[in-house]
Structure 1
Amino acid sequence: MTLRRTLIDGAAAFGLGLTDEQADACMVYLVELEKWYRKFNLTAIRDEREIIIKHFIDSFSYLRGFNPGPGMALLDMGSGAGFPALPIKIAAPALLVIMVESVRKKGTFLRHIIRTLRLEGVEVLDARTGELLPEHQARYNVVTARAFADMGTALKEGSLFLKPGGLMILSRGPAETVSDDTVAEQGMLVKARHEIILPGSGDPRALWVFQKKD
């Protein structure tokens, strides 16, 4: 199976019908990631098929947690090489996406990808999440975080950026959990927990969807 077909079939498993243009964008992204990762240590994964599955398709799984619509804004904490934020943006181009990445060389790569793919409505902030307050407080419909601390810490930081009713989406291993008290302390509730098997690898995931109380 070609890399492109692996990508398209993996996206389809989460209900996404990628257009040719969207699939092309992901493949260009893959090529650029391979060019840059040696210099900037962007990913520990080197196999192309594994990158497609564990980065791109895994990122698409976040769309099980919300329905992107016009006027919605997403904040991604600790964006690294752009996952899950940029694949989400490619799949849902109307979504406003803000990526927060404190490592400047990674921010440089993210801006390069944005320019290369000619993406609009996406921005990179060279900062730590705490440095965005109070300007960005309660401004976002969705907050995502992938390789960002434990769930309790992610909730504590991410909840500050959500509008009332907004969603925080975290993809974790099936054994990881968070206490009800921790969730409640951040003014959140558990809206859903989706058990996912990552297409192409068989790896289990738990997609947690938390909602900010009104």
Structure 2
Amino acid sequence: MTNEDFIEALSSAGITLTTQQVRQFERYYELLVATNELVNLTAITEKKDVYLKHFYDSLTVAMYEQKLKSSESTLIDIGTGAGFPSLPLKIAFPDLKITMVDALKKRVNFLQEVVDTLDLTGVEIVHGRAEDIGQNPKYRENFDYATARAVARTSVLAEYTLPFVKIGGRFLVMKGSAAHQELLDGQKALAMLGGQINEEFVFTLPNGDQRYIQIVDKKTKTPKKYPRQAGTPSKKPIS
């Protein structure tokens, strides 16, 4: 996907980028590739692939959750890695307030460099594990949206994310071809943590790769015992 393809595909989906935003995506790409030579951020480094599989793919969630486009909503991105999906969302929708969580200090340093270089505001970067931060009153049940990308299967991901979502907010699940089965397997975890599936969307990226966006409503408070201590959700998923 070339820069022009990226701009055109977004425009077709109702997302129009300014000249400044186009430059921000370009600078983000440059920083990603340069830093990736020193820190393992991503296996995807070809420009056309970064624009398709990282930038465009990150923005697909706003095509199905329209409020991300036009409101000052708060979104927390768990295990954000190199900043996906939250940084592309922030660049495209500057009013969105984002919090990025990652456990690796080198990735946190990269994210801060991107935020500073692109002069982004309304961004918080938190170094730590979701299991610990999810018990912090400053963050717990304090966000309109929580999401994560390529972190864990849905039953585990729910425990990482739903404790951050306020009642009436949403957990935005971004998955590949195994998404529907993971959702079925994760029904007990979602319910126990206060979530309920609202909608599921299936679509393909411009290259034909299948993607799912699942929208989970936060209906009730998450029990205080969740998230459990670091490492437990992945070793002993709710089932």
TM range (shorter): over 0.9
Q: So what's the TM-score if we normalise by structure 2?
A: 0.84
Aligned match of 2:147: 144
Shift of 1:71: 3.6
Shift of 1:172: 0.9
Aligned match of 2:195: 188
Distance 1:13 1:174, change over 3 A: farther
Distance 1:153 1:197 in 2: 25
Distance 1:142 1:64 in 2: 15
Distance 1:210 1:54 in 2: 23
Which amino acid counterpart does residue 195 of structure 2 have in structure 1? Answer: M
Contact 2:101 2:125 in 1 (8 A): yes
Give the 3-state SS of the residue equivalent to 1:39 in structure 2: coil
Give the 3-state SS of the residue equivalent to 2:37 in structure 1: helix
Shift of 1:19: 1.5
Shift of 1:38: 1.2
Runs of 4+ with >3 A deviation: none
Contact 2:150 2:175 in 1 (8 A): no
**Are 1:55 and 2:58 counterparts?**
no
Aligned match of 1:114: 115
Task: Tell me the matched-pair count.
Answer: 212
Q: So what's the TM-score if we normalise by structure 1?
A: 0.94
Contact 1:6 1:52 in 2 (8 A): no
Indicate the structure whose relative CO is greater, using CA pairs within 8 Å and at least 6 residues apart: 1
Q: What does the per-residue CA deviation read over 1:34-72, in whole Å, with 9 as the maximum and x for residues that have no partner?
A: 111110011101211011100000000111242124442
Which amino acid counterpart does residue 195 of structure 1 have in structure 2? Answer: V
Identity %: 31
Gaps of 5+ in 2: 221-239
Give the 3-state SS of the residue equivalent to 2:91 in structure 1: helix
- Structure 1 vs Structure 2 CA RMSD: 1.4
Distance 1:150 1:178 in 2: 9
Q: What does the per-residue CA deviation read over 1:3-28, in whole Å, with 9 as the maximum and x for residues that have no partner?
A: 22022123234321112211111011
The within-5 A match list for 1:42-81 is: 42-66=41-65, 67-68=67-68, 69-81=70-82
Q: What does the per-residue CA deviation read over 1:174-210, in whole Å, with 9 as the maximum and x for residues that have no partner?
A: 23322333322221111111112112x1111011111
Distance 2:110 2:28 in 1: 11
Distance 1:105 1:129 in 2: 17
